[in-house]
Amino acid sequence: MTFPIYLEVDQIYNLACPASPIHYQHDPVQTTKTSVHGAINMLGLAKRVKAKILQASTSEVYGDPNVHPQTEDYWGHVNPIGPRSCYDEGKRCAETLFFDYWRQHRLRIKVMRIFNTYGPRMHPNDGRVVSNFIVQALLGQDITIYGDGSQTRSFCYVDDLIEGMMRLMASGDQVTGPINIGNPNEFTILELATKIIEMIGAKSKIVRRPLPENDPRQRQPNISRAKAQLGWEPRTQLQEGLTRTIAYFEKMLSEDSVRETQAVE
């Protein structure tokens, strides 16, 4: 039996949906449902209580992009039936719903397209590249590069992302997005691996693993719209963001090993 929840709500952040490929591909049917049913339910709630509503969309709506860097008016290049589609198409359909509720019901919407974000408090088994490489390097394990490592990503530190999100929510009703929030500094995956090994002083070897199907070749946000409409741009560059993230995982792993030692005793 389900019970209704009665809440005073004036702002809704719809952040639901796992974002790491290994997690969202674990149960792809639920992934699409989370984005599509979740958006419908939250939009219905926003309509009823007249709340502003923000959707955490993604750079994945651009798929494996033919336009580089990606601007918000690019429609993308997404495979509708591949292993990433549950996430990409789910998020694309959610954007459609947001804009239809805006056109049809005059809802106050905010759609942000988030580019690869990282930082402290990621789960060690998150599965995305930054946490994988840091944990592998700290444990002296092999660093797993998928493909030849020439594919690129642009990594945004979590605090910058949150600042962009809060500014978007606080913006005037005419600002609906979609709006790219990311750090335009672009790196190859091989550069990222080399940098992390060097920063940690790790003994890890780089090993190659197969490139996942439909893995985007390149990704870099054009953030002109965020600068113009939100006065936002990222402040934390990769070196500094990685330093803080490495410190976080170092502490976590040393606490884990203390706990394991105590458990043995």
Q: List residues with catalytic annotation.
A: 87
**Rule CB under 6 A: which of 144-163 touch ligand UDP?**
144-146, 151, 153
Distance CA 32, CA 84 (A): 10
**Which CB atom, from 42 or from 230, has the smaller least distance to ligand UDP?**
42
Query: Which one of the spans 64-72, 124-132, 156-164, 245-253 is the region binding ligand UDP (CB under 6 A)?
Result: 124-132
Q: How far is the CB of 251 from ligand UDP (least distance, A)?
A: 22
Q: Does 76 bind ligand UDP (CB under 6 A)?
A: no
| 33, two tokens | 């449902």
**How many CB atoms neighbour CB 73 within 10 A?**
9
Binding ligand UDP (rule: CB under 6 A), the pick from 33, 47, 68, 195 is 47
Binding ligand UDP (rule: CB under 6 A), the pick from 142, 186, 191, 215 is 215
Q: Does 54 bind ligand UDP (CB under 6 A)?
A: no
Q: Does 2 bind ligand UDP (CB under 6 A)?
A: no
Q: Long-range pairs for 130-135 at CB < 8 Å and ≥24 separation? A: 130/155, 130/192, 130/242, 130/245, 131/245, 131/249, 133/192, 133/193, 133/196, 134/196, 134/200, 134/242, 134/245, 134/246, 134/249, 135/249, 135/253
Q: Does 23 bind ligand UDP (CB under 6 A)?
A: no
Distance CA 102, CA 104 (A): 6
Q: Does 186 bind ligand UDP (CB under 6 A)?
A: no
Binding ligand UDP (rule: CB under 6 A), the pick from 21, 119, 164, 178 is 21
Q: Does 185 bind ligand UDP (CB under 6 A)?
A: no
Q: How far is the CB of 5 from ligand UDP (least distance, A)?
A: 9
Q: How many residues bind ligand UDP (CB under 6 A)?
A: 20
Q: How far is the CB of 115 from ligand UDP (least distance, A)?
A: 8
**Which CB atom, from 137 or from 168, has the smaller least distance to ligand UDP?**
137
Q: Does 212 bind ligand UDP (CB under 6 A)?
A: yes
| 81, two tokens | 């039936």
Q: Which residues bind ligand UDP (CB under 6 A)?
A: 21, 40-41, 43-45, 47-48, 116, 128-129, 132, 144-146, 151, 153, 189, 212, 215
